[in-house]
A = this chain, B = another copy of it.
Amino acid sequence: LKGNKSVDPIITLLTDFGESDPYTGAMKGVILSICPKARIIDLSHNIQKHNIREGALYLRSVAKYFPKNTIHLVVVDPGVGSSRKPLIIQSRNYFFVGPDNGVLSLAALEDGVPKIVEISNTAYFLKPVSSTFHGRDIFAPIAAHLAVNRSIEKFGSEIGKWVQLEIPKVKIDGNKIYGEIIHIDRFGNVITNIPQEIFQRLQKSAIKFIQIQINQFDSKIKLCTSYDQGGLGEILVIFGSSNLLEIAKNQDSAAAALNVQLNDKILVELVGN
């Protein structure tokens, strides 16, 4: 069923514009004026303002669930109006439209075989092009024209160099894993950058407990496979829905309990059972 051409094109929107200003509304209008059949899907407009890494991680965790040929339009663009390039990326399954600041890079690289086009054909822009709102004047019209045509060549030339986001890498030293907190969700779940596959590689037999050290907290914790394996309010660790190690508290906020902030360092030690 994926990418059926008879289905109206899907454009997802991911921005740091919030939900009170007229910016996303204007973008939706521009898209529908160019491609009236486009189906606009709001992902989130609450990326922390100017936070490219948060936008890139959000996009990487979500883009892959969409049908083939979905156009992912992303505007987290602190450099709007500067010399940073506007991009279209065509990867194995998707199109990505947004600024060349790394926000598209994690998702595009994960999808694979990215072909990068620098948008330069001003014939497709909304004019006059403002210097403060390329979301409306460049990215939205390009995404909409792409939804009509599904071909990227006419919008500009392919380039070789683009901004690829560096994300903090996990370090492994024997039984010790050094990671970082990359997201804290609405429930207070603390999500690390430590993937489940590292555990699968390191462990000899099934592990039931691991030692977690983060800020003042240093304790042996139960590795669970569901939140309710912890008692109500018990701190536990679990591999979450993106297969990343997550510290949780059953029906409560682990982030508040452990006073954890985004970007905090974490040390995980495999201590056996």
Residues of A within 8 A of B (CB): 1-2, 4, 7, 10, 12, 14, 16-26, 28-30, 32-37, 40-47, 49-50, 58, 61-67, 70, 78-82, 130-133, 136-137, 183, 185-187, 225-228, 238, 240-241, 246, 248, 251
Task: Given A21-B185, A33-B65, A82-B228, decide whether A42 and B44 contact each other with a Cβ distance below 8 A.
Answer: no
Task: Given A19-B46, A32-B66, decide whether A132 and B1 contact each other with a Cβ distance below 8 A.
Answer: no
Interface centre among A14, A23, A24 (most CB of B within 10 A): A23
- Docked Cα-Cα span, A239 to B97, in Å, equals 25
Smallest CB separation, A255 vs chain B (Å): 13
User: 6 shortest A-B CB distances, which residue pairs?
Assistant: A81-B226, A29-B65, A133-B241, A18-B186, A29-B66, A25-B43
Complex contact B36–A32 (CB within 8 A): no
Partner among B46, B70, B137 whose Cβ is within 8 Å of the Cβ of A20: B46
Copies, count: 3
Partner among B7, B185, B246 whose Cβ is within 8 Å of the Cβ of A37: B7
Complex contact A1–B251 (CB within 8 A): no
Nearest-neighbor residue (CB-CB) of A62 within chain B: B25
Interface of A is mostly: loop
Nearest-neighbor residue (CB-CB) of A77 within chain B: B227
User: Can you list 24 residue pairs at the A/B interface with Cβ under 8 Å?
Assistant: A1-B33, A2-B33, A14-B25, A17-B186, A18-B186, A19-B44, A20-B47, A21-B186, A22-B43, A22-B44, A22-B62, A23-B185, A28-B43, A28-B66, A29-B62, A29-B64, A29-B65, A33-B65, A40-B41, A49-B187, A50-B187, A78-B251, A80-B226, A132-B238
Nearest-neighbor residue (CB-CB) of A47 within chain B: B20
Complex contact B1–A61 (CB within 8 A): no
Smallest CB separation, A153 vs chain B (Å): 22
Q: Which residues of B contact A49 (CB under 8 A)?
A: 186-187
Complex contact A132–B186 (CB within 8 A): no
Smallest CB separation, A220 vs chain B (Å): 21
Partner among B28, B183, B226 whose Cβ is within 8 Å of the Cβ of A131: B226
- Docked Cα-Cα span, A17 to B23, in Å, equals 19
